[in-house]
Amino acid sequence: MSDLFAKLHQSFQLPVVRYALIVGLLIALCSSLLGVTLVMKRFSFIGDGLSHVAFGAMAVATVTGITNNMLIIMPVTIVSAVLLLRTGSNTKIKGDAAVAMISVGALALGYMLMNIAARKGIGRTSGNVTADVCSTLFGSTAILTLKPADVWICIAMSVIVVTVFLVFYNKIFAVTFDESFAKATGIRSDMYNLLIAVVIAVIIVIAMNFVGSLLISALIIFPALSAMRVFKSFRSVIICSVVISLLCAFFGIIISILAETPVGSTIVSADITVFFIFCIISAVLKRGR
Amino acid sequence: MGALLRCENVSLGYEGDVITKGLNFTVSSGDYLCIVGENGSGKSTLIKALLGLRAPLDGKVELCGEVGKNEIGYLPQQTMVQRDFPASVREIVLSGCMNRCGLRPFYNKEEKKLAHDMMRRLEIEPLTKRCYRELSGGQQQRVLLARALCAARKMILLDEPVTGLDPKATNEMYELIGSLNKKDGITVIMVSHDMNAAVRYATHILHIGRKQLFFGTKEDYMTSRIGQAFISVMGGEDSE
């Protein structure tokens, strides 16, 4: 036991580990905020689609060798979010089919680009395509790649996301609960849908480096689903999912340091565990009533 | 008594299929308009067009002068999303005040008081902290009505307001809507299957089918041939 603490203590001497903890907790905070909205608006698929688009953009960024990936990934993902939202509300094209098309397309093209680039030695590819792709999809295997600049970007983005969420909290609730009522009574629900989509895109891009593009949706959806099992008001569900998300991220990171498991999937495993615990709690509560 | 809402030659439908056409009517301030018709005659679609949620295929729906978009309340038919939504009664009723806020991000004291008054009026005060999805159908309907009342400063549109209510609650609901119209001077537009209530409370009747079959005052409707035929089929006057 004392070995574990010694190892933990030793790890926290390293600035990278502290960065990882800060970034991880911020990502957990942001991603849990809009989970309920995503689930209730049936937008979960947009979150998933966007993360694939972000993967494609990441591949392009890697191949072109731009120093800051964000410059390409952020705008591409935001534009896709807006486009996906449009197709989602268009009744003539099946929304889910369009999302599937775009997301799988981005995945395939991204992988192909990275492969070709690696073979020809273009851009910043390391020559080991499998490792590159794997870390983009499932997050870094080691968290030692974070630079101070990444941390600052992450802090800035988190402040923006949290501020937007707090300022528009009541409007987000109104639009999530009943969009047609909101629209009928003169609230510009299209604008707020757009806002939600853009915020989701931002969250996905920030989180992508850390947990990987395939696992982001889990970080957004799981805390909300767990909290919805037990809590009864919108506010308490949000607060609970933030708490769940923070705890899971914290323990996920600690465990991944101690057991040397990949960060992203460790955090998601913690989220899954909590989800089942909450399922049991809700079953017990129902029986007790 | 100025006009609040005007429909000129409106056709409604889905992607080219016309459900109903030739709708011409005007709703004035203080009116209680009941929209009646067979199932599938486009009553709910008409409500959505009046609210601007759905564009008419043809013709013009316009709000005139006195009433702004943010002074309208709406009681929709429930959607599936809402049935399992984690939200407390208070949060939902308060969201009816949203259109008073403008750009202000949070509710002020008056709005919270208004929401509270509406909950008391609909006798759902004890449910304030309860979860919406755990309520009975009738209770849910009251919550949605309280929300609509918070939003309705000049006009309220109701789509089948008594669905899922027992006879006693149905009567109370109609009395409440009637008093809103008479005492508070709020203009009411209601879709209903219930001819009984329509002829009892409404001042005007709009009867639609494939086209507009009747628009006028209740008194004229009851002496018209279509009105008498429809009332006898739907079991109107006699059962009072």
Q: Which parts of chain A register pLDDT below 70?
A: 1, 66-68, 86-96, 121-129, 131-132, 139-145, 289
pLDDT at residue B239 in the model: 41
Pick from B118, B153, B188: which residue ends a domain?
Answer: B153
Q: Are residues B146 and B83 in the same domain?
A: yes
Q: Are residues B88 and B63 in the same domain?
A: no
Rounded to whole angstroms, the Cα distance separating A33 from A220 reads: 8
Domain annotation covers residue B196: yes
* Domain of residue B236, CATH code: 3.40.50.300
Pick from B153, B185, B204: which residue ends a domain?
Answer: B153
Domain annotation covers residue B218: yes
pLDDT at residue A272 in the model: 94
- Residues B27-60 have pLDDT tens digits of 888 889 988 888 778 888 888 888 888 888 888 8
Chain A residue nearest residue B102, CA to CA: A187
Residues of A in contact with B86 (CB under 8 A): 36, 227-228, 231-234, 237
- Residues A89-124 have pLDDT tens digits of 554 455 667 777 888 888 888 888 888 877 776 666
pLDDT at residue A270 in the model: 93
Q: Are residues B148 and B172 in the same domain?
A: no
Domain interval for residue A241: 2-284
pLDDT at residue A245 in the model: 94
- CB of A273 within 8 A of CB of A265? no
CB burial readout B90-115, b (16+ within 10 A) else e = bbbbbbbbbbbbeeeeebeeebeebb
- CB of B188 within 8 A of CB of B33? yes
Q: Under an 8 Å CB criterion, which residues of A touch B?
A: 36, 40-42, 166-171, 173-174, 177-178, 180-187, 227-228, 231-235, 237
Q: Are residues B240 and B170 in the same domain?
A: yes
Residue B54 Rama label (left phi>0; alpha psi -120 to 50; beta): beta
Note whether B99 contacts A173, CB cutoff 8 Å: no
Domain annotation covers residue A289: no
pLDDT at residue A151 in the model: 85
Q: Which of A249, A261, A228 is nearest to A27 (CA)?
A: A249
Residue that is written with structure tokens 């460790």 in the block = A266
Domain annotation covers residue B158: no
Q: What average pLDDT does the structure give for chain B?
A: 82
Phi, psi of A273 (to 5 degrees): -60, -45
Give the count of domains, chain A: 1
- Tell me which residue in B52, B74, B86 faces A228 most closely, judged by beta carbons: B86
Which of A178, A228, A238, A282 is best to mutate for the B interface (most B CBs within 10 A)?
Answer: A178
- Residues B163-214 have pLDDT tens digits of 777 888 888 888 888 888 888 888 999 988 777 777 888 888 888 888 888 8
CB burial readout B23-34, b (16+ within 10 A) else e = bebebbbbbbbb
A252: Cα within 13 Å, side-chain hemisphere? 31
pLDDT at residue B237 in the model: 44
Domain annotation covers residue A211: yes
What distances in angstroms separate CA A200 from CA A70, A75, A217, B186, one per listed residue? Answer: 15, 13, 10, 40
A191: Cα within 13 Å, side-chain hemisphere? 8
What distances in angstroms separate CA B120 from CA A174, B99, B110, B168, B174, one per listed residue? Answer: 22, 21, 15, 18, 17
Give the count of domains, chain B: 2
Q: Are residues B60 and B175 in the same domain?
A: yes
Domain annotation covers residue B160: no
Domain annotation covers residue A123: yes
User: What residue spans of A65-94 are helical by DSSP H?
Assistant: 70-89
Could you say which residues from 117 to 136 on chain B have a Cβ atom under 8 Å away from some Cβ of chain A? 129-131, 134
Rounded to whole angstroms, the Cα distance separating B122 from B180 reads: 12
Q: Are residues B62 and B85 in the same domain?
A: no
pLDDT at residue A162 in the model: 93
Mean pLDDT score, B216-224:
80
Rounded to whole angstroms, the Cα distance separating B53 from B195 reads: 26
Rounded to whole angstroms, the Cα distance separating A196 from A80 reads: 13
Domain annotation covers residue A226: yes
Rounded to whole angstroms, the Cα distance separating B31 from A255 reads: 67
Q: Are residues B172 and B232 in the same domain?
A: yes
Q: Are residues B86 and B149 in the same domain?
A: yes
Note whether A177 contacts B87, CB cutoff 8 Å: yes
Q: Are residues B59 and B170 in the same domain?
A: yes
* Domain of residue A114, CATH code: 1.10.3470.10
- CB of B212 within 8 A of CB of B227? no
Which of A37, A181, A183, A278 is best to mutate for the B interface (most B CBs within 10 A)?
Answer: A181
Instruction: Report residue B190 as tokens.
Output: 């209601």
pLDDT at residue B60 in the model: 83
- Tell me which residue in A171, A181, A187 faces B76 most closely, judged by beta carbons: A181
Per the DSSP assignment, residues forming a β-bridge with A73 are none
- Residues B69-82 have pLDDT tens digits of 778 888 887 665 56
Domain annotation covers residue A277: yes
- Tell me which residue in A177, A184, A185 faces B85 most closely, judged by beta carbons: A177
Domain annotation covers residue B161: no
Domain interval for residue B91: 79-153
Q: Are residues B85 and B131 in the same domain?
A: yes
